[in-house]
């Protein structure tokens, strides 16, 4: 995981909690990389390319969701490249949805980054 400044980490964790709660309220079984939740399973082909998403959610009647939360300082981090590519590939293989969740006002930056990586996540703001 990329090193965030402490305030950005607090914001990140609040956003992860908001995403998890949204999915719970929508009937999903949720794993989140936060205290109080089961940790999501690692995704990736090798130990070097494995990443743990911020949120993984399943609901028997809806497509599963892999969600990654970024703060303003992590959208363009090099670690983000590997995470987004890995999660996007897994979502395509498994028929899941891949969400990138960013702060309000940063959806344009997230879209530019996704386009540069050649992936098409669903981008949401919190």
Element (H, E) at 117: helix 107-117
Task: Please write the tens of the pLDDT for every residue from 7-45.
Answer: 889 999 999 999 999 999 999 999 999 999 999 999 998
Q: pTM of the full predicted structure? A: 0.93
Instruction: Report the C-alpha gap between 48 and 104 in whole angstroms.
Output: 32
Q: In DSSP terms, which residues pair with 90 in a beta bridge?
A: none
- Using the 8-state DSSP alphabet, how is residue 4 labeled? -
Q: Is residue 106 part of a domain?
A: yes
- Under a CB-based contact definition with an 8 Å cutoff, are residues 103 and 82 in contact? no
Task: Please write the tens of the pLDDT for every residue from 47-105.
Answer: 777 999 999 999 989 999 999 999 999 999 999 999 999 999 999 999 999 999 999 99
Predicted local confidence at residue 47, as pLDDT: 77
Q: Is residue 11 part of a domain?
A: yes
Instruction: Say yes or no to pLDDT of 1 above 60.
Output: no
Q: Return the closest-CA partner of residue 51 out of 3, 102, 2, 87.
A: 87
Q: Is residue 35 part of a domain?
A: yes
The total number of structural domains that make up the chain: 1
Could you list the residue range(s) of the whole structural domain that residue 87 is in?
Answer: 6-125
Instruction: Report the C-alpha gap between 16 and 74 in whole angstroms.
Output: 14
CATH number at residue 74: 3.40.1350
Q: Is residue 1 part of a domain?
A: no
Q: Is residue 50 part of a domain?
A: yes
Q: Is residue 101 part of a domain?
A: yes
Predicted local confidence at residue 114, as pLDDT: 98
- Under a CB-based contact definition with an 8 Å cutoff, are residues 113 and 76 in contact? yes
């Amino acid at each position: 995981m990329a090193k965030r400044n402490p305030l950005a980490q607090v914001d990140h964790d609040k956003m992860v909690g908001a995403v998890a709660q949204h999915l719970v309220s929508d009937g999903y079984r949720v794993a989140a990389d936060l205290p109080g939740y089961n940790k999501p399973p690692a995704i990736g082909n090798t130990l070097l390319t494995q990443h743990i998403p911020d949120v993984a959610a399943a609901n028997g009647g809806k497509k599963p969701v892999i969600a990654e939360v970024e703060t303003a300082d992590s959208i363009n981090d090099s670690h983000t490249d590997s995470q987004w590519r890995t999660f996007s590939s897994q979502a395509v293989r498994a028929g899941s949805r891949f969400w990138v969740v960013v702060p309000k006002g940063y959806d344009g930056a997230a879209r530019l980054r996704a386009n540069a990586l050649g992936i098409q996540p669903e981008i949401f703001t919190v």
